[in-house]
């Protein structure tokens, strides 16, 4: 049987909030007061989509100490399992004096879970907010992440492989670490590449590339390209690219006119998808319009999403309709200092029950985003020609690339005629 990688996670302080008193963390009093850390579902979703077994391993010694009932602990564990995509949850109810081999910092729970789930411990991770969590992971042979919550207690010795303050960055680090050596060839990509632009010459150049499976544009790109006649340009592109999906966006801000435009644009060809913004400029949701268009068979590309609540609303609106795209502007999410990977992974799961829907990673900032989107399970990524042209660099020897960079500096300095009077 092939072994699988896992991520082991402590419960209190990692998956749910703790109460900190005098610098020490304490579990919640009961299930009602247990609050899941806001980013936990997204972070775990990202890890799960990428093939990790997710196992919570938690010490709950208050049962042995007589200060908490077993029923209390079990109720909290049920709530954690109900709200998060965990595969398993292990609990040690003993105190230090019991010398239990499962009580962290001993690795018993991790070893038992590894046997049950056929886990490759050398490829697995332990995430915890206390030194004992990290020690248990190290004893089991896992890589470790320490969530530094600022408690007034000893830090891990030896130090964890990675230290951060929140679960989202921890998950992102694990995903980046596990994928960094795997993305060596374009042929390994499962994701579809769409070119994003409004320059006909550039679009036709990308059309000649068999790796490019579709095209998107929007009014901003069309304006930058100097387009004045929207319909004439769109029909010209449809005639030139008749066999790959093309997305053209409505530009009215009023839903009645938006609907008329959508139905008209949708009639231009079977390969045409109509881009509908998730709201109008006043922040009013377009979900009712999306529902009507889907019910009448209009293929849509619902665009400019940035939150999971928007994803849920749009998927509900598109449910039961024809083929459609849900376009999350992951690049803009990243521009705000947030890691888009957990959000995109959670979105993949939301779309899963509707196989006619495909998730788009929109507005990427660099070629690496293509591989991130592929790793997290996105169906499509849209990118500009400038980014897509870098596909030729995938797998390039880095020493050779370093030398190319040095040569570029040298050639540009010579071409500029730079001189210094030294001495």
Domain segments of the chain: what residues?
Answer: 6-179, 186-393
Give yes or no for residue 415 having a pLDDT over 80: yes
What is the C-alpha to C-alpha distance for residues 147 and 130, in angstroms, rounded to an integer? 8
pLDDT (tens digit per residue) in 226-257: 999 999 999 999 999 999 999 999 999 999 99
DSSP 363: S
pLDDT (tens digit per residue) in 168-205: 999 989 987 765 444 445 667 889 999 999 999 999 99
Q: Do 186-393 and 6-179 have the same topology in CATH?
A: no
**Could you tell me what percent of the chain has a pLDDT over 70?**
97
What is the C-alpha to C-alpha distance for residues 308 and 312, in angstroms, rounded to an integer? 6
User: What distances in angstroms separate CA 72 from CA 32, 68, 96, 215, 229, one per listed residue?
Assistant: 10, 7, 20, 55, 67
Give yes or no for residue 417 having a pLDDT over 80: yes
Closest among 270, 194, 261, 273 to 231, alpha carbons compared: 261
**pTM value?**
0.60
**Could you tell me what percent of the chain has a pLDDT over 90?**
79
Closest among 330, 377, 346 to 41, alpha carbons compared: 346
Mean pLDDT over 344-359 rounds to 94
What is the C-alpha to C-alpha distance for residues 422 and 406, in angstroms, rounded to an integer? 22
- 182 catalytically annotated: no
pLDDT (tens digit per residue) in 249-308: 999 999 999 999 999 999 999 999 999 999 999 999 999 999 999 999 999 999 999 999
pLDDT (tens digit per residue) in 1-35: 678 899 999 999 999 999 999 999 999 999 999 99
Closest among 292, 350, 288, 352 to 321, alpha carbons compared: 292
Let me know the angle formed at the C-alpha of 15 by 9 and 19, rounded to the nearest 5 degrees: 120
Number of neighbours of residue 40 by Cβ within 10 angstroms = 23
Number of neighbours of residue 242 by Cβ within 10 angstroms = 11
Mean pLDDT over 84-109 rounds to 93
Q: Residues 187, 274, 335, 168: is their CA dihedral positive or negative?
A: negative
pLDDT of res. 399: 85
Terminal-residue alpha carbon distance, the chain: 71
Among candidate residues 48, 192, 275, 299, the one labeled active-site is 275
pLDDT of res. 160: 94
Class of domain 6-179: alpha beta
More confident residue, 100 or 183: 100
Q: Output the DSSP codes for 148-168.
A: ----SSPPPSSPPSEEESSHH
Q: Which residues contact 13 (CB under 8 A, 6 or more apart)?
A: 25, 128, 129, 130, 147, 149
Helix (H, G, I), strand (E, B) or coil at 329: coil
Helical H runs in 253-286?
Answer: 255-266
- At residue 28, φ and ψ (nearest 5 deg) are -65, 160
Choices 3.30.565.10, 3.30.70.1560, 3.90.550.10, 3.20.20.70: CATH for 186-393? 3.20.20.70
Let me know the angle formed at the C-alpha of 168 by 180 and 355, rounded to the nearest 5 degrees: 75
Number of neighbours of residue 220 by Cβ within 10 angstroms = 10
Across all residues in the chain, what is the average pLDDT? 92
């Amino acid at each position: 049987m092939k072994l699988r990688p896992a991520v082991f996670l402590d419960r209190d302080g990692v998956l749910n909030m703790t109460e900190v008193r005098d610098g020490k963390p304490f579990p919640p009093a009961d299930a009602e007061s247990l609050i899941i850390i806001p980013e936990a579902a997204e972070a775990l979703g990202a890890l799960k989509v990428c093939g990790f077994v997710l196992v919570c391993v938690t010490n709950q010694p208050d049962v042995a100490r007589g200060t908490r009932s077993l029923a209390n602990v079990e109720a909290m564990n049920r709530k954690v399992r109900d709200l998060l995509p965990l595969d398993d949850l292990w609990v040690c109810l003993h105190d230090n004096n019991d010398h239990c081999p499962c009580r962290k910092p001993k690795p018993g729970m991790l070893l038992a879970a590894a046997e049950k789930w056929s886990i490759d411990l050398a490829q697995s991770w332990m995430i915890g907010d206390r030194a004992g969590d990290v020690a248990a992971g190290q004893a089991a042979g896992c890589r470790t992440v320490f969530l530094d919550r600022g408690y007034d207690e000893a830090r891990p010795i030896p130090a964890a492989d990675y230290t951060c303050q929140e679960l989202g960055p921890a998950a992102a680090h694990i995903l980046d670490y596990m994928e960094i050596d795997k993305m060596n060839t374009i042929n390994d990509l499962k994701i579809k590449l769409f070119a994003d632009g409004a320059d006909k010459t550039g679009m036709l150049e990308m059309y000649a590339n068999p790796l490019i499976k579709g095209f998107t544009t929007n009014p901003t790109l069309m304006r930058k390209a100097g387009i004045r006649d929207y319909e004439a340009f769109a029909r010209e592109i449809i005639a030139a690219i008749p066999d790959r999906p093309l997305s053209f966006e409505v530009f009215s801000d009023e839903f009645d006119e938006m609907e008329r435009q959508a139905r008209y644009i949708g009639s231009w060809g079977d390969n045409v998808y109509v881009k509908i913004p998730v709201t109008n400029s006043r922040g009013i949701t377009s979900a009712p319009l999306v529902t009507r268009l889907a019910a009448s068979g209009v293929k849509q590309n619902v665009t400019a999403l940035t939150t999971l609540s928007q994803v849920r609303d749009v998927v509900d609106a598109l449910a039961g309709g024809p083929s459609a795209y849900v376009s999350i502007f992951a690049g803009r999410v990243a521009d705000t200092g947030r890691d888009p990977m957990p959000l995109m992974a959670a979105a993949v799961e939301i779309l899963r029950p509707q196989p006619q829907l495909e998730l788009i990673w929109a507005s990427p900032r660099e070629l690496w985003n293509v591989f991130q989107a592929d790793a997290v399970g996105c169906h499509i990524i849209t990118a500009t020609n400038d980014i897509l042209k870098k596909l030729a660099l995938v797998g390039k020897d880095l020493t050779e690339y370093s030398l190319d960079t040095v040569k570029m500096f040298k050639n540009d300095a010579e071409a500029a005629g730079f001189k210094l009077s030294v001495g």
